[in-house]
Amino acid sequence: MRIGEIAALAGVTPRAVRHYHHLGLLPEPERRPNGYRAYGVRHAVELARIRRLTELGLALAEIRDVLADDEGRELTEVLVELDRDLARQEAEIHSRRERLAGLLEQVRDGGLPPEGPVSPGLAELLRAIAPSDSPTARKDRGHLALVDSLVDDEQRDAFLDALRPLADDPELAARTAELYAALDELADARVDDPRIAPLAAEFSAAVPDTLLRLMGSGPPADGHPFGQALLGDFAPAQAEVVRRLMADLVRRSREL
């Protein structure tokens, strides 16, 4: 048989057969005078066996080991390990699908937030803040999504619990929107603008103790690279508010 024939017989492509030769999975057969590979039934039997193993999901290198190791115990061991691996993959895919289902539910509940896929609790929270079209609010929604995607489930729940009043209390949400708007207005202000100090104080007052307690290694300080970057993300006067806010949060968290 020529390569196309044996490949069709075994249900693979000629390219795959050559690949198996290359990897040493299948011995190279004799050649005809014209250079064509001349396969016998033995090769077909071996090829079919290789295909059965690949269909189970074994990697070609593993198949090579199994075939070489003149088996018995080896194959069983590989199969057990393969099953563990497949079980893990299946579980992983399943959990991804569950998260996907949750996201698609969010879509029906009012559309995905533009921040992309986030936990259901945060989606709710973002919707509460979303009406505010302020640049600062948009920025802060990004920050919330960042935190959301960073922490583990337990921390996330605590985090969302701490912020739940924002989602549940329309009045509080409105207050927050006002704070964002006030910060917006500082976009072009100078760093000695008198509105800075009181706004920082109000922002700090809006951060509950529960949230402070969550920040394990303390709130971002402006010595930290992240704190620096955060300041760099704002206009000067706004950055001054943020700096004072951060300093106050650090102070408060030390007093806890």
| Count of C-beta atoms within a 10 Å radius of residue 41 | 10
Does position 37 interact with DNA (CB under 7 A)? The reply is yes
Q: What six digits make up the tokens of 78?
A: 């590989």
In this structure, what token pair is assigned to residue 31? Answer: 């050649």
Encoded tokens for 41: 């039934």
Calpha distance 89→232 (Å, rounded): 42
Our CB check for its own copies shows the closer of 23 and 101 to be 101
Spatial separation of the C-alpha atoms in residues 237 and 190, rounded to whole Å: 6
**Spatial separation of the C-alpha atoms in residues 44 and 9, rounded to whole Å:** 8
Options 7-15, 145-153, 166-174, 234-242: segment touching DNA (CB under 7 A) = 7-15
| DSSP single-letter state for residue 14 | H
Residues that bind its own copies (CB under 8 A): 1-2, 5, 9-11, 39-42, 44-45, 48-49, 51-53, 55-57, 71-72, 75-76, 79-80, 82-83, 86-87, 89-90, 93-94, 96-97, 99-101, 103-104, 107, 111-112, 114-118, 142-143, 145-146, 149-150, 225-226, 228-230, 232-233
Region of 54-62, 65-73, 114-122, 248-256 interacting with DNA (CB under 7 A): 54-62
What secondary structure letter does DSSP report for 33?
Answer: T
User: Smaller CB distance to its own copies: residue 56 or 205?
Assistant: 56
The CB-of-216 to DNA minimum distance in angstroms stands at 19
| 3-state SS assignment for residue 31 | strand
Q: What is the closest distance, in whole angstroms, from the C-beta atom of residue 131 to DNA in the complex?
A: 34
**Residue choice 44, 46, 54, 79 for contact with DNA (CB under 7 A):** 54
* Contacts for 141 with CB less than 8 Å, ≥ 6 apart: 113, 115, 126, 129, 130
Both tokens assigned to 109: 């509940």
Residue 188 binds which entry of its own copies, DNA, none, with Cβ cut-offs from 5 to 8 Å by kind? none
User: Which residues would be at the binding site for DNA (CB under 7 A)?
Assistant: 2-5, 12-16, 18-19, 32-37, 54, 59-61
